[in-house]
A and B are shown apart, each in its own frame.
Chain A
Amino acid sequence: MNSVSKHSVYVKSVRHEAESILSFELLPGPGAALPAFTAGSHIDLFIPGVPTRSYSLLNDQSESNRYEVAVAKDSKSRGGSKLLHERLRAGDRFEVSDPKNLFPLNEASELSVLIAGGIGITPLWSMAQRLESLQANWKLVYFARSRESAALLDRMDKAFRYGHVELHLGYGAAETAASIAELFSQDAAATHYYCCGPSGMLETYKNAAVSIPNDRVHYESFVPLHDASTEGGFEVVLAKAGTVVKVQSGQSVLDALAEVGIEVMNSCREGICGACEVVVLDGTPDHRDSILSESEKASNKSMFVCCSGSKTPRLVLDL
C-alpha cells in the first residue's frame, strides 16, 4: 500500500487568468507548513468528490508556504478540471501531495529556451522566474490561440534583465512547427530546451529536436493520456472469493483489494507492465492502461486493476 504524504491547504484566492483558465493560490492550513519545491514540480490535489489530478506549480520556487496552480477547463474533461472550475472557492480546505519534480531545470546551462503551449505555460513560468533570479539567460516562447486564452500575460509584461517573452498568437500547426524548428536552428552547445504543451506540439518539438543530444532536450507531457482512475464510488465483486469490496474515491481497485487483504500481482502501478491483469466477468471497466488495444478494451475481457476503474456501479472480477 502506498502511504502518501499529504499537506493541508486552503484556497487564499481564485484568479481569472484567461478564458477558461483559473489560477488558485494555496496557503497552508492551520499549523501546517508546505514543503519547498523546485521549478518544474507539480502537486496532486486531493479534494473529496473530485478525481485526483496533478498540477504544475507556477509560482517562484523562492516563495515558501505558497503554492499557485492554474487549471484550464478542458471541454473533454473527465471531471477534474470541470469540477475545480465549478466548485472550488476561496476559503475551501483540502489536501495536496508533496511536490514532485519530473521536469527539473538544468541551472548550469548558458541559455534556457522555454517553449510553452496553452496551459503548458505553468511549469515554464516557474522556471523563467527561477532563471531570472539566478541571473541566467532565458527565453520564453509562448504559443496560445489568442490573447484572451493566454494565461499569466500580466505577469510577463515586465522588463526582465536576463530573458524575454515571445508571444505567438493564433499560429496554425505549420507555423508552430516552423517557429520551433527556427529555435533549434540557432542551437549553441550549452543551450537547454524545455517544452510543455498539448501532445501535438510535443510531437512537433520532439521531431524538431532530433539532432540535439537528448540530455539538452526536456519536455513534460501535460495531459496524461492514461490518468489512473481514482474516482472510486463503485463496488467490485470477487466471483471466486464471494466477497464484495467497495472502491472509495482516491483509491485504485488494487488499493481497495489490498486494504481487505487481497493481494493482486503488481509492479508499475501505471498500467504499463501488465502484472495486475484480472479477468472481468461482468461490468464495464474504465480502461486507463497503455497495454490493451482498442478492440481488447472494447471486449472488456480483462482489466488492469492498478489504474483502471469502472463505468458501471459494479464490476465482477475472476478473483
Chain B
Amino acid sequence: MLTAEQNRILTDVSPGTPLHNYWKKHWIPALRSEALRAGGAPQKVELLCEKYVAFRGHDGSVGFLLEACPHRGVSLALGRNENNRLTCIFHGWSFDAQGNCTRMPTEKDQSFCQKVKGQGFKVREGGGVVWVFLGDGEPPKFTDFAFTHFSRDHTRPRASYNEANWLQNVETLMDSAHIGLLHHDTTADANAPQAGLQLVTGNDTPKYTLEQRPYGLRSYSLRTTGGDKDYLRVTEYVAPGTAFIGTTDAEAAFVIIVVPVNNTRSLQWYIYWDSRQLIDNNLPDFALMGTDESDDNFAASRQGTPNYGQDREAMEAGKTWSGVPGVIFEDYLVAESIPIVDRTREFLGSGDLAIVRMRRELLERIRQSEAGEDCVKSLESNYRALRALAEMVPVGTSIQEFTESKQQERISQFE
C-alpha cells in the first residue's frame, strides 16, 4: 500500500525523524511504578532510540533523566540514590527529580550547577505506571484513562518486549480478522471463559466501520451469526500506539500500549483493570498464559527461543493451530517474523480495512506534527470514558447508538 518513503515515515523512530518527534508529543508509559523503590536502584529505560534512567527518591517522587550523565556520559543507572537525588558515582554530580544539577563536588563555584538544568523529563504516575513526556515545551493533557483513577488493587500493568517494529504490533491490535485464525486455539475452546472471543469462531470476515475521533479512531467490527443477534467488537484506538480491546461486562477490561524502543524492538504493555473487584481475581485466562512471573518483562525467558518454541509435532497432530501457547505469544510470533514489515509489497483485502485507516490516520497526524499543528488533540479527547466492547447486538441495531449507550452504562455502573 505505501511507498518506501511512507513506510519509513511510519516505522523509523530514529532521533530527528518525523515519527520520533511525533511520538515525543505524547505521554508515554515508561515503566511500572513498582519497578522503582523509594531510594532503590535506578532503572534503565530505552525509548525511541534514546536511553534514559528512572529513579524514585525517598520522598516518593520519580525522576526520569537521560541515562548519560551530562558531564562526561557515564551511566546514571550506576548512580547513588539518596536525599532525593541521583548522584553520579564518577564525580558526584547530583541531580534532582527534574534533572537539575544541584551539586558538583568537582567545581569550586557551585553556581556552575545552574548551567546544567532540566535534564529531566516530566513524569506522572497513574494506574501503576510511570508516564513520561519526552518532548519540548508543555505536555498535552494527561492521558487519564479510566484505570489511572483506580487504586493499585484494581489495575495490573504488565510489560514485556518483543523484537519487532512498533507499527506491525499496533496493526495486530487493529486487526479483528485474525482473531479466529491465529488465536484459533483460544477461540475454538468452548471451555475457556473468554466469552467475548469465542463468538468469533467460524466467522473470519467481520464488517468494519471506522470513525475518526480526536484521539484516533473507533473501530467497529460486526459479525453475523445467522441468528437474530450479531456479534459486535469495538476497539478504541488512541494514536499512536494504544488500543482498548473489547471485552464483555463480566470480564476485566484491558488495554494494550505499544511503545517503540528502537526500530526493531517494542515495549508492549498489557494493562488489565476491574473497578468492581481485585484485578488479580479476574485476570483474563490469556493474561498469564505462558508468561514469566515478572510484570516488568513477562516474555524474558522466551526471548531468544526460536519461534517462541513453536511445537510442529502438535501442529501436525492437529492439536494446535499456531503451535505456541496463548494469544500474546501468538501475536509476538507473527510480529517478530519480519523485523520491519515492508508495506510496499502487500496484498490487502477487506479484512485490512481498519489497518489501512489507521495508517492513513497516522500519516495525517505525523504531517500535522511536522507542520506544527495539534496532532494529539488531547483537549478534545475524553480519555477517561474510553471502553472497548464485545457484545451481542440485535440484528439491525445502530452500532453507534449501541456503543454510546453501552459505554455510558459501563462508566456509570463501574465507577
A interface vs B, CB < 8 Å?
Answer: 263, 265-268, 272-275, 277, 290-291, 293
Contact = CB atoms under 8 A, between A and B. Distances in A.
Contacts of A268: 347-350
B151 interface: no
Interface string B360-403: 10000000000000000000000000000000000000000000
B289 interface: no
A265 B348 contact: no
A265 B1 CA distance: 5
A291 B353 contact: yes
7 contacts: A265-B6, A266-B1, A267-B347, A268-B350, A273-B350, A273-B356, A274-B352
Interface string B1-25: 1110010000000000000000000
B1 A263 contact: no
Nearest to A290: B350
A263 B3 contact: yes
A268 B348 CA distance: 5
Given A275-B356, A277-B360, A267 B346 contact: yes
B2 A265 contact: yes
A265 B6 CA distance: 10
A250 B347 CA distance: 23
B357 interface: yes
Q: Top 4 nearest A-B pairs by Cβ distance?
A: A267-B348, A273-B348, A272-B350, A274-B356
B89 to A, nearest CB: 52
Contacts of A266: 1
Nearest to B209: A293
A291 B6 CA distance: 23
Interface string B320-341: 0000000000000000000000
A96 to B, nearest CB: 25
A102 to B, nearest CB: 15
Given A265-B2, A275-B1, 18 more contacts: A263-B3, A265-B1, A265-B3, A267-B1, A267-B348, A267-B352, A268-B348, A272-B350, A273-B348, A273-B353, A274-B352, A274-B356, A274-B357, A275-B348, A275-B356, A290-B350, A291-B350, A291-B353
A272 B349 contact: yes
A274 B3 CA distance: 16
Given A267-B346, A267-B347, A273 B3 contact: no
Contacts of B347: 267-268
A305 to B, nearest CB: 13
Contacts of B346: 267
Contact of A273 (B2, B6, B209, B349): B349
Contacts of B2: 265
Contacts of A265: 1-3, 6, 360
A293 B398 CA distance: 13
A290 B349 CA distance: 11
Contacts of B352: 267, 273-274
